[in-house]
Amino acid sequence: EAGVAQSPRYKIIEKRQSVAFWCNPISGHATLYWYQQILGQGPKLLIQFQNNGVVDDSQLPKDRFSAERLKGVDSTLKIQPAKLEDSAVYLCASSSPRGTLTTNEKLFFGSGTQLSVL
């Protein structure tokens, strides 16, 4: 079974530039998450999709971050313009093969995109 695919693996940009990350979840997974992980810390949820609808974006800095999940499959996360403090690993995860979340739902993570903002 193919896992969660993310690209690019690494990205280096200068502050005020734009950047986009792509995620292809496990086939059939209805729920897709984007997390931001600062080095040595736990992941912080940015946005959660259920199919192609947003169910939680309370921690997404909407003045500069945007995300979409057209057709309820692939997703892109964009930062425009980037700031130094955006340097982090951006993780995509998927879950819910049956389309509804349960208490014991297992998340499957991609390997992440490591972003460095100079």
Partner 1 sequence: TQLLEQSPQFLSIQEGENLTVYCNSSSVFSSLQWYRQEPGEGPVLLVTVVTGGEVKKLKRLTFQFGDARKDSSLHITAAQPGDTGLYLCVRRRNAGGTSYGKLTFGQGTILTVHP
Distances (CA, A) of 52 to 4, 7, 60, 66, 79: 17, 20, 17, 14, 20
Pick the stretch among 12-20, 66-74, 78-86, 107-115 that binds partner 1 (CB under 8 A): 107-115
Pick the stretch among 11-19, 41-49, 67-75, 78-86 that binds partner 1 (CB under 8 A): 41-49
Distance CA 105, CA 52 (A): 19
> Under the criterion CB under 8 A, does residue 110 sit at the interface with partner 1?
yes
* Angle 114-115-117 from CA coordinates, rounded to 5°: 155
> Under the criterion CB under 8 A, does residue 103 sit at the interface with partner 1?
yes
Question: Would you call 117 helix, strand, or coil by DSSP?
Answer: strand
Single residue of 41, 63, 70, 71 touching partner 1 by CB under 8 A = 41
Which residues within the stretch 45-84 sit at the binding site for partner 1 (CB under 8 A)? 45, 48, 50, 55-56
Least distance (Å) between residue 22 CB and partner 1: 15
